Amino acid sequence: MTETSPGTGAPEDLPVYPAPRSSACPFAPPPGLLALHDADKPVIRVRTWDGTTPWLVLSHAAQRSILTDSRVSAGIGKKGYPHTTAAMKAHAAEMQPSVNNTDGAEHSRWRRMLTNGFTRHRMEKLRPEIQRITDDLIDKMLAGPNPTELNEALSLPLPSLMICALLGVPYEDHDFFQKHAGVTNAVYKSPEEAAATTATLLRYIAELIERKMDDPGEDVLSDLGARIKEGVLSMEEAAPLGHILLVAGHDTSANMITLGTALLLENEEQLTALREHSDDPRYVANAVEELLRYLTLPHLLARRAVVEDIEFEGETIRAGEGVIASLPAANWDPEAFPEPERLDLTRRAAHHLAFGWGPHQCVGQQLARIELQVVFGTLFRRIPTLRLAAAREDLRFKEDSQAYGIYELPVAW
Ligand code: HEM
Is the CB of residue 185 less than 8 Å from the CB of residue 243?
no
Residue 183 has pLDDT above 80, yes or no: no
pLDDT at 189: 67
For ligand 1, atom 16, the nearest C-alpha belongs to 302
Distance in angstroms (rounded) separating the CA atoms of residues 210 and 226: 10
- pLDDT tens digits, one per residue of 282-318: 999 999 999 999 999 999 999 999 999 999 999 999 9
- pLDDT tens digits, one per residue of 325-356: 999 999 999 999 999 999 999 999 999 999 99
- pLDDT tens digits, one per residue of 187-216: 766 778 778 888 899 999 999 999 999 999
Ligand 1 atom closest to Cα of 163?
30
Residue 227 has pLDDT above 90, yes or no: yes
Is the CB of residue 184 less than 8 Å from the CB of residue 160?
no
pLDDT at 180: 80
Kindly give the distance from the C-alpha atom of residue 298 to the centroid of ligand 1, in angstroms, as a whole number: 9
Residue 1 has pLDDT above 60, yes or no: no
6 or 384, higher pLDDT: 384
pLDDT at 193: 79
| Domains in the chain: boundaries | 11-412
Mean pLDDT of the chain: 93
Distance in angstroms (rounded) separating the CA atoms of residues 302 and 55: 12
11-412 CATH pick, 3.30.1330.200, 1.10.630.10, 3.20.20.80, 1.10.390.10: 1.10.630.10
Is the CB of residue 293 less than 8 Å from the CB of residue 306?
no
Residue 35 has pLDDT above 60, yes or no: yes
Consecutive H or E run containing 65: helix 60-66
CA atoms within 13 A of residue 224's CA, in its CB half-sphere:
28
Is the CB of residue 178 less than 8 Å from the CB of residue 249?
no
216 or 184, higher pLDDT: 216
pLDDT at 11: 77
Is the CB of residue 152 less than 8 Å from the CB of residue 252?
no
pLDDT at 106: 95
Distance in angstroms (rounded) separating the CA atoms of residues 49 and 400: 13
- pLDDT tens digits, one per residue of 229-274: 999 999 999 999 999 999 888 899 999 999 999 999 999 999 999 9
Ligand 1 atom closest to Cα of 367?
27
Kindly give the distance from the C-alpha atom of residue 379 to the centroid of ligand 1, in angstroms, as a whole number: 24
pLDDT bracket for residue 9 (50, 70, 90): low
Tell me the angle at which helices 157-167 and 127-143 cross, rounded to the nearest 10 degrees: 140
Beta bridge mates, 388: 411
Distance in angstroms (rounded) separating the CA atoms of residues 94 and 92: 6
Kindly tell me the burial class for residue 201, based on how many C-beta atoms sit within 10 Å of its own C-beta (0-12, 13-18, 19 or more): buried
For a mutational test of ligand 1's pocket, the pick from 96, 252, 324, 352, i.e. the residue with the most ligand atoms closer than 8 A to its C-beta, is: 252
Measured torsion, CA atoms of residues 89, 92, 94, 99, in degrees rounded to the nearest 10: 150
- pLDDT tens digits, one per residue of 114-150: 888 898 998 999 999 999 999 999 999 999 999 999 9
pLDDT at 7: 44
State the Rg of the chain over Cα: 21
DSSP state of 55: E
Tell me the angle at which helices 365-382 and 127-143 cross, rounded to the nearest 10 degrees: 40
Q: In this structure, how many other beta carbons lie within 10 angstroms of the beta carbon of residue 167?
A: 22
Which residues have C-beta atoms less than 6 Å from ligand 1?
Answer: 99-100, 111, 163, 244-245, 248-249, 252-253, 256, 297-298, 301-302, 327, 354-356, 360, 362-364, 367-368
pLDDT at 191: 75
- pTM of the shown model: 0.95
For ligand 1, atom 6, the nearest C-alpha belongs to 355
Average confidence (pLDDT) over 152-160: 96
Consecutive H or E run containing 53: none
Distance in angstroms (rounded) separating the CA atoms of residues 4 and 288: 31
What does the angle CA 29 – CA 283 – CA 276 come to, to the nearest 5 degrees?
100
Contacts of 150 (CB under 8 A, 6+ apart): 257, 258, 261, 409, 410, 411
